[in-house]
Amino acid sequence: MAKASPRWQRLPPFLVLAAVAATTIYPLAFVAMTSFRPKPDYLRNPYGIPSSLSFDNYVKLIVNYDVLRAGTNSLIVISVALIVTLIFATLAAYAIVKLNLPFKSVFAGGFVSVMLVPGQVLIIPVYLLLSMLRLVDSLPGLMAVYIATNIPFDVFFMITVLRGVPDALIEAAKIDGASPLRILVSIVVPVARTGIVTLGILTFLAMWNELIFGLILLPTEAHNVLTSKMASIGGRFVSNQPILMSGLMITSLPPVLVLTFLSRYLIEGITSGMGK
């Protein structure tokens, strides 16, 4: 808490922040409202109050462009990749922080040093590798890539989280004869759960918003994931804004829901996990 200044002194900062918030909220509200308007009504007056609202745009988009299938593909790829990534990253960080891992600094340094490898270095060789393995245009191929590209940051993050788990708790369980795996499952994970939830959210967002691997690794219509699909078909709707807006709404819904209900974890994680 900064010191409490008199109420009137706080008005100018509030007004500035409210103005900035409006520039964030207004475009989003515009997208939301337009997505429920019939096209003629929208064209008559884009900024006006809609005369009628309906789900027609959503229905048209879903029926004509197989959006549900793309959404299902996204959920399949991400739920598998997310769970596997979190488990592998937690195991690796546990070995690095709490167990007697040989070559500890090699592993820790290795994960951290590949953390900032930009995606564009990987697209060509990963594409060639997966096509050799016949994993292009198959959901498991994209899952594997999402797991691999998210593991470095997730291990790094989990190392920070697990450092916060008191060694005394683990020593006590060891004296009770608990095995390292049992200690991980019954003590470390429950104590570190806030950190794990935060990491789960960050990883989910990274996977949901990923674009380029989705585009090149799942090129056929039946295997498209949602974000990549919207990116590639979005340009067709520039003359039909209400339909485009309904697509943007569907694609943004999961991240916005996550932010709405879990913002506490997310914002805490970003401001504390920042200590890179």
Chosen residue from 57, 245, 246, 265 binding other proteins by CB under 8 A:
245
Q: Is 196 in the site for other proteins (CB under 8 A)?
A: no
When asked if residue 49 is in the footprint of other proteins (CB under 8 A), the reply is no
Task: Kindly report the backbone phi and psi dihedral angles of residue 103, in degrees, each rounded to the nearest multiple of 5, phi listed first.
Answer: 55, 40
Using CB under 8 A, pick the residue from 61, 67, 70, 126 that binds other proteins.
126
Complex with other proteins: residue 1 or 52, whichever CB lies closer: 1
On whether the CB atoms of residues 146 and 85 are closer than 8 A, the answer is: yes
- Given the rule CB under 8 A, which of 19-27, 49-57, 70-78, 159-167 is the region that contacts other proteins? 19-27
Query: Contact between 199 and other proteins (CB under 8 A)?
Result: no
Shortest Å distance, C-beta 88 to other proteins: 4
CB 252 to other proteins: min, Å: 5
Determine if 135 is a binding residue for other proteins (CB under 8 A): no
* Residue 80 interacts with other proteins (CB under 8 A): yes or no: no
Hey, what amino acid is at 184?
L
Give the range of 51-59, 64-72, 159-167, 251-259 binding other proteins by CB under 8 A.
251-259
C-alpha distances (whole Å) from 209 to each of 130, 182, 204, 249, 252 are: 21, 35, 8, 14, 9
- Minimum distance of other proteins from residue 62's CB (angstroms): 17
Please count the other Cβ atoms lying within 10 Å of the Cβ belonging to residue 14: 9
Cβ-based nearer residue to other proteins, 64 or 263: 263
By CB under 8 A, residue 109 contacts other proteins? no
Sequence-ordered list of residues with C-beta below 8 angstroms from that of 119, at least 6 positions apart, any chain: 149, 212, 213
Kindly state the greatest CA–CA separation across the chain.
75
State yes or no: residue 169 binds other proteins (CB under 8 A).
no
Is 161 near other proteins (CB under 8 A)? no
- For tokens 């100018």, name the residue: 12
Determine contact, residues 230/248, Cβ cutoff 8 Å.
yes
> 50-79 mask for other proteins (x: CB under 8 A)?
------------------------------
Residue from 75, 76, 80, 178 in contact with other proteins (CB under 8 A): 178
Give burial (CB, 10 Å; 0-12/13-18/19+) of 165. buried
* Site for other proteins contains 276 (CB under 8 A): yes
∠ Cα 244 208 222 (to 5°) = 65
**Helix axis angle, 241-272 relative to 193-209, nearest 10°?**
150
- For 28, residues 6+ apart whose C-beta sits below 8 A from its C-beta are none
Which CB sits closer to other proteins, 2 or 52?
2
